[in-house]
Amino acid sequence: MTMKKITVKLNGAEHSAEVEPRLLLVHLIRENLNATGTHIGCDTSNCGACTILLNGKSVKSCTVLAVQADGKEITTVEGLATAEGLHPLQEGFKENHGLHCGFCTPGMMLRAVELLENNPNPTEEEIRWGISGNLCRCTGYNNIVKAIQYAGAKIRGDELPSTEPEFV
């Protein structure tokens, strides 16, 4: 078995590593590059906790080999905020109580980045289908949907929806 030398750009910074071909991308990110914001939930491509952007596309990094990311750009939750402040999705999750334990949140937000890029003004149904590969054990999803609607409005420059909690 031959080691492979790969180079990836993680959140804008270039890194090289010598890896076994069987190393999973999520382990490269968490263990070799020490970016532990990306979580491992199921390890079986079901839960979406490990979702990152690979060249702008949301993928489950527990089911991609690190060698497949050679020469590519990776965005993780650590890459969302900028010097100007939180990413609209981070602000949306914060304002709308879009998280409880936070385990699903990084994957949920990275998935939502691509969702809003493809469709800046999604309906509630489109959001629910759009995050159908991400499981949340805590929130019941309603506040996640609101958080994504809030981020969409912010990105479009529209009036922000109310963040008053709903009591039912």
Partner 1 sequence: MIPANFDYSAPSTLDEALSLLQEHGDEAKILAGGHSLIPMMKLRFASPAHLIDINNIPDLSSIKEEGDSFHLGAMTRESDVEHSEALTGAFPIFADVTKLIADPQVRNMGTIGGNLAHGDAANDHPAVMMALNASVEITGPEGTRTVGIDEFFFGFYMTAVQPNEILTGISIPKQRGKVGSAYHKAERKVGDYATAGVAVQIATDADGKCTYAGIGLTNVNAVPMRAKRSEEALVGSDLSDELIAQAAMMASEDCNPSADLRGDEEYKRHLVKVITKRMIHKAIQRAK
Ligand X SMILES: Cc1cc2nc3c(=O)[nH]c(=O)nc-3n(C[C@H](O)[C@H](O)[C@H](O)COP(=O)(O)OP(=O)(O)OC[C@H]3O[C@@H](n4cnc5c(N)ncnc54)[C@H](O)[C@@H]3O)c2cc1C
Contact positions vs partner 1 (CB under 8 A): 1-2, 4, 20-24, 27, 43-46, 48, 51, 57-60, 63-65, 67-68, 70, 111, 114-115, 118, 129-130, 132-134
- Shortest Å distance, C-beta 75 to partner 1: 14
Q: Does 47 bind ligand FES (CB under 6 A)?
A: yes
Rounded to whole angstroms, how far apart are CA atoms 55 and 75?
8
- Shortest Å distance, C-beta 131 to partner 1: 8
Stretch that binds ligand FES, among 13-21, 34-42, 119-127, 152-160 (CB under 6 A): 34-42
Q: Report the amino acid identity of residue 120.
A: P
For 49, 62, 100, 163, the CA distances from 104, given in Å and listed in that order, are 5, 14, 9, 21
Binders of ligand X among residues 35 to 54 (CB under 6 A) are 45-46
Tokens of 162: 């109310």
- Shortest Å distance, C-beta 46 to ligand X: 5
E strands along 13-88, which residues?
13-19, 51-54, 57-60, 73-75
